[in-house]
Amino acid sequence: MLLTITALLLHVAQAAEYGVDVSFPMQHETVSSNYDHLPHNNHQQQASPASHPTVMFHDQPIQPLGDRQREYQTFLKGCVDAFNASVCDEFEESRIQTNLRQPASMVNYTTIGFHKTRVPDSLWQMIQGFWERNHHEDKNSNKNQEKEEWPPGNTFVNHWSSPSYLVRIIEEEKGLRGREGPRLAKTIWDETRKMVQEWTGQELEDCSMYGIRIYTKGSILNPHVDRLPYVMSAVINVAQDLEEEWPMEFIGHDGKATNITMTPGDMVLYESHSVLHGRPFPLKGEYFANIHVHFEPTGHSIKYHGYDAKADKQESVGKYKVNKDIGGHEIEGHRVLPPYIIPDSPEDKIYREEHPDTYYFGINKHRSSPAHVYAGQGKTSELVGLLEDQLHLVHSRDRNGWLPLHEASRSGHVETAKFLIEKGANVNGRFGEKGGTALFLAGQYHGKNSEIYKYLQSVGAVWEEPEL
């Protein structure tokens, strides 16, 4: 059986070892042209001076996939012809900069960053039935498939030549789906969330599920990382009509590319915030239908049936409230750095520039924790909810070595101080290495006849002044 050029290329891609900027530009504007057949890449010819690599190939990875730059230029030319060079270049510059900056700024929760599995049988039966009943024209001759609208110049998919379509699972405005859609949507959310939580060891919030996206002949999905807060994701293959496999390419945490093929009922879980993913080889066939489900970590670690998340993730701390309207995290009007952004990383800098009132999660020796904020404001009820899951924040110190109890004492909030002490706060803890105690702060700010001072004395607090 003769293989087509694309099939042969996919075979090579699945067998070869490579990383970024080989199949398609990911973190730079061009792909490697350091072809594997060049003399300097031939071990048998390396003794010859003529076979030494030239400067132009310096730091370029070996290119086993042929002239991929030409394929990319054809892709980009389609965008320019449909729109204009300015808008297409702007989208590409943003994509490449995000691909370069975001993965290095994210907390990773698993070893490699992706995992292939199967949809649970009960859910798969529901998805199959829904697809069969809803992806064709309905009885009123109105197509259930609607053409997906992309912004002009958007280069995530080549929608200008290969349009994508959506079959919405919930379509209240058109009166479609009835009770079936909401029931299916809830089941997808519940089952997928459970699987991703078990895989990552992280509690998750639901973010987005578009419905069933249908890619058509010639489609290319430009390699990218998902915009925040889409951190954990799952892709479910619903149906396909292919002449050749259409793999999804992942650049794992090890920097290596893996091409994963899917059949209906397959599911791939992946850390979409830090793992570059795409389908850089054009779809050969009629269509490929997927459901994409996106989640955001809450910052809480969990266990499932003896599975210890610490064995396959990095710890993250903190609790926050998600404001769905603005897409951020808030504590009493203050934004909190999401737990998946590494402090002092490039993405952290951008986030804080956009949200200058940002506080940091959990224990961080440089910045205040949410417990400090609530304690200083006397927000005892908020502290109750925070410490229910994050009791260690009682002992967190800010950049000056202050404990939450110090904030409550300086502000004179008796009930808040009482709650912190009940939760294990060190009543005689000093701020910094040689700072004063909570009783010292209460006396300095409110006097020895104040309620906060008398309360602290009643529970054994001692006066220790800062050592100069």
Would the pLDDT of 111 be above 50?
yes
Q: Which residue has the tokens 């300086």?
A: 410
Would the pLDDT of 173 be above 50?
no
Whether residues 306 and 181 share a domain: the answer is yes
Whether residues 328 and 440 share a domain: the answer is yes
Backbone angles phi, psi at 60, to 5 degrees: -85, 130
Kindly state whether residue 316 falls inside one of the protein's structural domains: no
What three-state secondary structure class fits 40?
A: helix
Whether residues 70 and 130 share a domain: the answer is no
Would the pLDDT of 176 be above 50?
no
- Taking residue 114's Cβ as centre, other Cβ atoms within 10 Å add up to 22
Kindly state whether residue 468 falls inside one of the protein's structural domains: no
Q: What is the mean pLDDT of residues 242-267?
A: 97
Pick from 272, 236, 218, 250: which is nearest to 75 by CA? Answer: 218
Instruction: Give alpha helix (H) positions in 273-359.
Output: 346-354
- State the pLDDT at residue 299: 73
Domain boundary among 276, 310, 344: 310
Domain residue limits at 415: 321-458
Whether residues 159 and 272 share a domain: the answer is yes
Would the pLDDT of 19 be above 50?
yes
Kindly state whether residue 48 falls inside one of the protein's structural domains: no
Whether residues 299 and 241 share a domain: the answer is yes
Whether residues 429 and 340 share a domain: the answer is yes
Kindly state whether residue 13 falls inside one of the protein's structural domains: yes
Q: What is the mean pLDDT of residues 269-280?
A: 98
What is the model's pTM? 0.69
> Number of structural domains, the chain?
3
Kindly state whether residue 428 falls inside one of the protein's structural domains: yes
What three-state secondary structure class fits 58?
A: coil
Would the pLDDT of 398 be above 60?
yes
- State the pLDDT at residue 315: 31
- Taking residue 256's Cβ as centre, other Cβ atoms within 10 Å add up to 13
Would the pLDDT of 328 be above 70?
no
pLDDT-based confidence at 58, cuts 50/70/90? low
Mean pLDDT of the chain: 83
Would the pLDDT of 190 be above 90?
yes
Share of the chain above pLDDT 90, in %: 56
CB of 26 closer than 8 Å to CB of 20: yes
CATH code of the domain covering residue 338: 1.25.40.20
Q: How far, in Å, CA of 217 to CA of 145, rounded? A: 16
Q: How far, in Å, CA of 449 to CA of 452, rounded? A: 9
Token pair for residue 449? Answer: 């006849």
Beta strand pairing status for 34-35 and 62-63?
A: parallel
Q: What is the pLDDT of residues 149-170, one digit of tens each?
A: 999 999 999 999 999 999 999 7
Q: Which is higher by pLDDT, 50 or 298?
A: 298
Of the given ranges (138-147, 379-388, 411-420, 456-465), which has the lowest mean pLDDT?
138-147
Whether residues 341 and 284 share a domain: the answer is no
Kindly state whether residue 315 falls inside one of the protein's structural domains: no
Of the given ranges (196-210, 295-309, 397-411, 450-464), which has the lowest mean pLDDT?
295-309
Domain boundary among 284, 310, 336: 310
Q: What is the pLDDT of residues 78-91, one digit of tens each?
A: 999 999 999 999 99
Token pair for residue 249? Answer: 């390419």
Strand partners, 250: 258, 277
Q: What is the mean pLDDT of residues 390-399?
A: 80
Q: Which is higher by pLDDT, 161 or 367?
A: 161
Kindly state whether residue 464 falls inside one of the protein's structural domains: no
Whether residues 141 and 267 share a domain: the answer is yes
pLDDT-based confidence at 424, cuts 50/70/90? confident
Backbone angles phi, psi at 239, to 5 degrees: -160, 160
- Taking residue 432's Cβ as centre, other Cβ atoms within 10 Å add up to 13
What's the CA angle centered on 281, arms 166 and 61, to 5 degrees? 135
What's the CA angle centered on 283, arms 64 and 165, to 5 degrees? 145
- State the pLDDT at residue 324: 31
H or E, element range at 377? helix 370-377
Q: How far, in Å, CA of 77 to CA of 409, rounded? A: 65
In the chain, what is the straight-line distance between the N-terminal and C-terminal CA atoms, in Å? 84
Token pair for residue 239? Answer: 């149906």
Strand partners, 288: 215, 240
Whether residues 75 and 211 share a domain: the answer is no
Kindly state whether residue 214 falls inside one of the protein's structural domains: yes
Whether residues 264 and 387 share a domain: the answer is no
- State the pLDDT at residue 282: 98
